[in-house]
Amino acid sequence: MPNFTLKTAALKSFLLILMIPLLSTCSSYKIAYDYTPPKTKQGLVCIQQSQSQLNRCNNSCFYQYQSCLKTSQNQAQKKLPNLLKEYPLQLESWLNEREQYRRDLDFYELRMDLAEARRETYLGHCMKQGTKKSKCTSRHAYISLMPSVSRPYFNKGRPIKPTLLSVTNRTRAQNCSQQCGCQASFRQSYASCGGGVKSKKVCIKNCN
């Protein structure tokens, strides 16, 4: 009996050790790359040229992004007057829709309450006749008393009055990007020069 207990404890400990990697979770990853330079002189020269192309691409991307930020602010300044004119109409429309939703909800709840009251009345009469409750509630007459209507739904957020900052940020998010594909082009060029490129997952958040 003691041997069996020891074996059981050992098995539990072994299973616990196996489960630790599963319990240690990482909530966020990024992809990193390992670079192995080519062995030939010609390949190393090729890599230097690829690095120069990467630098030019990054610089061009940076200036394009900065230019886009300025252009977006100018565009936002032109858009803002019309957006401010549209805002009161949008707000009024939203208020009307919300009010209609509240009326529809009140009417829906009233119908459901009346239907439930009729079902209770029917159930009482049915059971007075000696019928079991389960049979009464399964009858078509009982089921049909509940109207087949859907609960009203309204999930529109209240319109927010536009500002120069909010319009500028939205325009920038739509038009400006710092992703120019420079790194992807460099990796492709690096590999064509004879170098090695390997990707790997690297945990960056909640790394246990």
In a domain, 65, yes or no: yes
Q: Where are the beta strands (DSSP E) in the chain?
A: 28-36, 196-205
In a domain, 7, yes or no: no
User: What pLDDT, on the 0 to 100 scale, is given for residue 37?
Assistant: 92
- Report how far Cα 198 is from the mean position of its chain's Cα atoms: 29
- Report how far Cα 31 is from the mean position of its chain's Cα atoms: 20
If one counts the domains in the chain, the total is 1
Domain that holds residue 56: 45-192
* Alpha-carbon dihedral angle through residues 43, 49, 55, 58, given to the nearest 10 degrees: -80
Nearest to 189 by CA among 77, 34, 52: 52
Q: What is the DSSP letter of 62?
A: H
In a domain, 69, yes or no: yes
In a domain, 57, yes or no: yes
In a domain, 197, yes or no: no
In a domain, 64, yes or no: yes
In a domain, 12, yes or no: no
Per-residue pLDDT of the chain (208 residues; tens, 9 = 90+): 444 444 444 444 444 444 444 445 656 888 899 999 999 999 999 999 999 999 999 999 999 999 999 999 999 999 999 999 999 999 999 999 999 999 999 999 999 999 999 889 988 988 888 888 888 888 877 788 888 888 999 999 999 999 999 999 999 999 999 999 999 999 999 999 999 999 998 888 777 6
User: What pLDDT, on the 0 to 100 scale, is given for residue 204?
Assistant: 81
- Report how far Cα 7 is from the mean position of its chain's Cα atoms: 47
In a domain, 24, yes or no: no
- What are 16-69's pLDDT values in tens digits? 444 444 445 656 888 899 999 999 999 999 999 999 999 999 999 999 999 999
In one-letter notation, the amino acid at residue 66 is Q
Do 146 and 115 meet the contact criterion of CB atoms below 8 Å apart?
yes
